[in-house]
Amino acid sequence: MNTKCKLGQSRSLLLVGLLFLFCLNGYAQNTLISDMDHLKWEKMMPGIWKASFGEMGLNPIDYTNLPNKEAIEELGDLPFPFDKEATYSLLTPTRASIRLPLNETEQIYGLGLEFEGMNRRSNVYSLKVDHYGGTKGYTHAPVPFYISSKGYGVLINSSQRVKIYVGVGNRKDSNLPEVIDRTTGKNWAARPISDAIEASVEGGGMEIYVFTGETNLEVVQRYNLFFGGGIIPPKWGLGFWHRVHTTSSDEDVLKEIQEFENNNFPLDVIGLEPGWQSFAYPCSYDWDSTRFPSPGNFVRTLNEKGIKVNLWENPYVAPSSTMYEDIRPYTGSHTVWLGEVPDYTIPEARQVLLNHHEKNHLNLGVSGYKIDEVDGYDVWLWPDHATFPSGTDAVEMRQVYGMMMQDMFDDYFKEKNTRTYSLIRSAYIGSSNHNFVLYSDYYDHQGYVTAMASASLAGLLWTPEIRSADSAEEWVRRFQTVAFSPLMMLNAWSSGKKPWSFPEVTDMVRNTIELRMKLLPYLYTAFYDYNQKGIPPFRAMVLESGYNDQVTSKNGVIDDVKNPYAEDKRLEVTDQYMMGPSILVAPIFTGQKDRKIVLPKGDWFDFYSGEYAGNGETITIQTKLEEIPLFVKDGAIIPMLTSISKEEKEKSLEVRHYGSKANTFLLYNDDGVSYDYEKGEFSLTELSVEKTKNGKLSGNSKALNSNKFTYDTITWKFMTK
C-alpha cells in the first residue's frame, strides 16, 4: 500500500472515498503546497519544454551551440512526462527554488561527472565547479541535469551553484509518509521517503528544461541534440597522445619521437606541459626561448611527421606575458597565483587572447590546448566576492569559465574550418558540441571508469589518462582502459614515462593501442552517431536497453518505498560501459583474478574468440593480463582497419560479424580534419549481413552517397562459428 495514503485516514466513508480518489490521482493533488507558484511550461520542440521564473544572471546556454532541430523532430514527440500541476517555483529575497515530483520507485541518474556512482536518489548535492572532492557535487563538471528512470530528464539552467535534494526532505504540506516511532517501528527511516526533488540557487531566478524519451538513452539524445549534438573529433584525436615531461626541450621531444619509431609505437599527438612557456603558473603563453628557440620549425617538423602539437595552459596571465598589458583592462579584482584573471564574457578580452594565440601558436600549426585549472580549489581561485569588469558575479564566472574557454576556441577553430580535439578540466551545461575532453588529477582507476560512464549522462567526454603505475600489471591495466576511452593519452608530465617503461608488458601495451587504433572506423562512426543522433560513443550501462539496473546495498535490494536503511551506500555496477553501438567494455583493475560482468538482455559474444558469453545474466570471467574483456552483441558488425601504419591506414577494412543475427551497419567516413562534412562531404557505406538460403551468413557493402571516403578492399570475418 502506498504509505502516503495513510495520512488523514478517517472513519467517515465519504472521506475514505475522497482519499481513494486522492491516491489514484497521486501527484495531481499536490496543490496543497501553500507558498509556491506553479511553473508555467512552454513547449520548445518535440519532447522538450521550458519553464522559467525570476531573473537569471550569466546564462550558461550562451556558451553552447544551437539545437539540431531536424534530429530532434526525427525523434518524434511524446507527452509532458509528469504532472505539470505538481511543479512549483518559489522566490525568496535570497534564493530561487523549485519543486518537481518524484515517484517512489523512480531512480535518478546524472548531475554531472562523478567518480563514485551514478544513481543520485536519496541524497543532497551542492553542484559546484571544483576539483573532485569529498563533498557531493564538487566536481569538474557538476552539470545540473538529471535523468529519471521514468523516461525524462530535467535541466536546471543557472550559472549559480545548484543545491539539489533528490528525494530527501519533506515539506509539511506535502504527501507525507507514515510517521514511525524509531523504538518500536521496524521501518523507521533516517531519510523518510520524499515525493519531490527540490533544488535552489542563490539569487533571482532560473530556467528549467524537461526532455522526454521512450528510454534513458533517448532522453540523453534529446539533451545532447538540444545543444547541437555531439562532436566528431578529428581522426588524429582518436589516435595516441603522449604528453612529455614538463621540462622537455624541442630536442628532448624529437628524441622521444624517435624512440616511438624505434619501439614501433604509433604517435599522433605530442602534448607540451607548462615548461614550453617562458613562465608558468601564472602563464606567459610565450614560448621559452631556451627550450624552444624556434617554435615555428619545431611545430612544422612534427606536423610533417603527422604528429599534432597540443599546448598546456591555464587562464591566469603572468606579468611577463606579451599579452599582459592588453588584457589588464579586462581582468577581475583578484589574482590567481598572482596572475590576472581575464573576464572572457567581454568580447575585447576574448580578442586579446585569440590574437595572441593565433600569432604565437595557431598560425604555427598548433592543433589545440589543454586548459588547466578552470575548476580550481577555493584556496587557489578567486573568492566568491571578487568583482569582474563586466559586472558578472564571481560565483557564476567560476561555474561557467571552462565553458567560455571551450566556446571561444571552438568558434575560432570552426571559423578556420579545422577541427580541434582539446582537453579541459571543467565543463558545464550543454558541452556535447564542444571539442574538449575532461581529465583530472584524481588518479583512482576504478573512479576513472565510473567517470567515463557518468560523463555520458551529461553530454561530456572523459579521459582516464595514464600517468604512471606502481607495477607492470597496473601499467597494462590502465593502458587497456585508456585505449577504450574517448582520448588515449599517456600524460607523463611528471613521471617522464614512455609506453615501454615496463618492458615485461610492452607487447601487451602495444597490442592494446593497436587494437584501439584498428577500431577507428567503428569508433569514428560512433562519433558520427553522437553528432547526428546525440548517442554518446561511450555510455553508462543505464543507457543500454535490456540492462536491468537493480540498485542494492550491502543489506540487499534497496526498497525506496520502505526505505528502512536509506543511509546505506547504493551499490551500482559502475565498472563496465558501452563503446559504440555494440561493444561492452569491462576493464580489469590491478589484482583482479576474476570479475563479474552484467550482460544486458540478448545474446552476447566474446570479442576475441566470437564464443557465446551469456544473455541477460551476470557472468564471472577469469582475467587474462593481455586482454581487456570486451563483449559484443548478437549481430554486431564491427569494421576495423587491417593496418595502422600511416600510409596503409585508410585502405582496407576487415569487417567482423558476431553471433547469428542478420544486421546492417552504416559506416561513416570523411576527410577527418575539416568541417566539410557539414556541407555533405562524407561517405556512408552500408555494411550488411544476410542469411543465405543454405543458412550461412554473407556480408555485403554498398556505398550510399559518395565513394570519396570509402575503402579499397573489405574482407568479412564471421567470428562466431
Nearer to ligand GAL, 495 or 553 (CB): 495
Nearer to ligand GAL, 439 or 577 (CB): 439
Is there binding between residue 195 and ligand GAL (CB under 6 A)?
A: no
Task: List the one residue from 174, 331, 345, 491 that touches ligand GAL (CB under 6 A).
Answer: 491
Task: List the one residue from 63, 145, 312, 677 that touches ligand GAL (CB under 6 A).
Answer: 312
Nearer to ligand GAL, 167 or 274 (CB): 274
Nearest 10 degrees: CA dihedral of 318, 321, 326, 330? Answer: -20
Nearer to ligand GAL, 133 or 556 (CB): 133
- Identity of residue 262: N
Nearer to ligand GAL, 274 or 368 (CB): 274
Nearest 10 degrees: CA dihedral of 80, 427, 479, 570? Answer: -50
Is there binding between residue 273 and ligand GAL (CB under 6 A)?
A: yes
Nearer to ligand GAL, 140 or 419 (CB): 140
Minimum distance of ligand GAL from residue 316's CB (angstroms): 12
Nearer to ligand GAL, 373 or 603 (CB): 373
Minimum distance of ligand GAL from residue 407's CB (angstroms): 21
Residue 28 and residue 493: Cα distance in Å, rounded?
57
Which DSSP string corresponds to 579-637? ETTTEEE----TT-SEEEEEPPSSEEEETTT--EEEESSEEEEE--TT---EEEETT-E
Nearest 10 degrees: CA dihedral of 437, 438, 444, 450? Answer: -80
User: 139-168: which residues touch ligand GAL (CB under 6 A)?
Assistant: none
**Residue 269 zone, left/alpha/beta (φ > 0; ψ -120 to 50; rest):** beta
Minimum distance of ligand GAL from residue 466's CB (angstroms): 12
Minimum distance of ligand GAL from residue 372's CB (angstroms): 5
Q: Give me the count of residues in the chain.
A: 721
Minimum distance of ligand GAL from residue 321's CB (angstroms): 17
Minimum distance of ligand GAL from residue 313's CB (angstroms): 10
Task: List the one residue from 114, 286, 340, 372 that touches ligand GAL (CB under 6 A).
Answer: 372
Task: List the one residue from 27, 211, 462, 493 that touches ligand GAL (CB under 6 A).
Answer: 493
What three-state secondary structure class fits 53? Answer: strand
Minimum distance of ligand GAL from residue 271's CB (angstroms): 8
Nearer to ligand GAL, 270 or 637 (CB): 270
Nearer to ligand GAL, 20 or 377 (CB): 377
**What is the layout of strands, in order, in the sheet containing 538-540?**
538-540, 577-579, 583-585, 630-633, 603-606, 612-615
Residue 200 and residue 196: Cα distance in Å, rounded?
13
Nearer to ligand GAL, 370 or 518 (CB): 370
222 Cβ contact list (under 8 Å, min separation 6): 47, 48, 72, 75, 153, 211, 212, 213, 534
User: 434-453: which residues touch ligand GAL (CB under 6 A)?
Assistant: 441
Site string for ligand GAL, 388-427 (x = CB under 6 A): ----------------------------------------
What three-state secondary structure class fits 107? Answer: coil
Buried (b) or exposed (e) across 683-696, using 16+ Cβ within 10 A? Answer: bbbebbbeeeeeee
- Identity of residue 218: E
Minimum distance of ligand GAL from residue 132's CB (angstroms): 11
Site string for ligand GAL, 229-248 (x = CB under 6 A): -----------------x--
Burial of 170 (0-12, 13-18, 19+ CB in 10 A): middle
* Residue corresponding to grid cell 543532497: 124
Minimum distance of ligand GAL from residue 241's CB (angstroms): 12
Q: Strand 612-615 to strand 308-313: parallel, antiparallel, or no bridges (unpaired)?
A: unpaired
Distance from the Cα of residue 720 to its chain's centroid: 33
Q: Strand 162-166 to strand 123-129: parallel, antiparallel, or no bridges (unpaired)?
A: antiparallel
Nearer to ligand GAL, 376 or 659 (CB): 376
What three-state secondary structure class fits 190? Answer: coil
First to last CA, the chain: 52
**What is the layout of strands, in order, in the sheet containing 108-110?**
42-45, 48-54, 205-212, 152-157, 145-148, 108-110
258 Cβ contact list (under 8 Å, min separation 6): none
Minimum distance of ligand GAL from residue 233's CB (angstroms): 19
Task: List the one residue from 112, 266, 274, 629 that touches ligand GAL (CB under 6 A).
Answer: 274
CA angle 69, 71, 74 (to 5 degrees): 110
Residue 669 and residue 708: Cα distance in Å, rounded?
9
What three-state secondary structure class fits 303? Answer: helix
Is there binding between residue 634 and ligand GAL (CB under 6 A)?
A: no
- The residue among 652, 707, 674, 662 whose CA lies nearest residue 521 is 652
Residue 292 and residue 404: Cα distance in Å, rounded?
29
Nearer to ligand GAL, 312 or 607 (CB): 312
Minimum distance of ligand GAL from residue 273's CB (angstroms): 5
Nearer to ligand GAL, 166 or 253 (CB): 253
Helix (H) or strand (E) holding 198: strand 196-202
Nearer to ligand GAL, 214 or 441 (CB): 441
Minimum distance of ligand GAL from residue 441's CB (angstroms): 5
Nearer to ligand GAL, 101 or 274 (CB): 274
Nearer to ligand GAL, 437 or 653 (CB): 437
Minimum distance of ligand GAL from residue 292's CB (angstroms): 17
Minimum distance of ligand GAL from residue 381's CB (angstroms): 13
User: 287-306: which residues touch ligand GAL (CB under 6 A)?
Assistant: none
Size, binding site for ligand GAL by CB under 6 A: 9
Minimum distance of ligand GAL from residue 312's CB (angstroms): 5
Q: What is the largest CA-CA distance in the chain?
A: 91
User: 11-70: which residues touch ligand GAL (CB under 6 A)?
Assistant: none
Minimum distance of ligand GAL from residue 142's CB (angstroms): 18
| Residues near ligand GAL, by CB under 6 A | 246, 273-274, 312, 372-373, 441, 491, 493
